[in-house]
Amino acid sequence: MQKRIKLILVFVGLILLDQMVKLYFLKYQTGLILLNSGGAFGIANNFNFYKYIVSIILLLLIGIFIKLKIYDKFGWPFVLIFSGAISDLIDRIRLGGVVDYIDLNIWPSFNLADCFIVIGVVWFAILTLRSYKISS
């Protein structure tokens, strides 16, 4: 029970952090600000049903995560993945697209939520590979 509370608090905290950073960039118009209405890296730009598809898939994944109690082993990586995805989904619903404000000129623009997702996926892959290697 204690671990679930920590996971929930970090989950909510990461969403709030990302939303506050995006609000800062929108309010003060500092640096690059793009509104990405498509998928990752601008794929399917201006696809109106994208946010609905993402919403349904995200809710299904969270339901599976909770039902299978995956949080026992993969809780922290999934907190990163889901908090980033939910924060970007909030942008899609509220603004019609995701606020991107980091541009390295060698990669498409992105935001803090995207960093959460990438770190979570890499962490999940490492944990998965380690458990596979040990058990085989």
Helices (H), ranges, the chain:
2-28, 50-67, 71-95, 112-135
Catalytic residue among 18, 88, 91, 100: 100
Contact (Cβ atoms closer than 8 angstroms) between residue 82 and residue 11: yes
Contact (Cβ atoms closer than 8 angstroms) between residue 83 and residue 18: yes
- Does the annotation count 88 as an active-site position? no
CB burial readout 41-65, b (16+ within 10 A) else e: ebeeeeeeebbeebeeebeeeeeeb
Structure tokens, 39: 């998928």
Distance CA 99, CA 26 (A): 8
- Does the annotation count 114 as an active-site position? yes
Catalytic residue among 18, 88, 91, 114: 114
**Which residues are identified as catalytic?**
100, 114
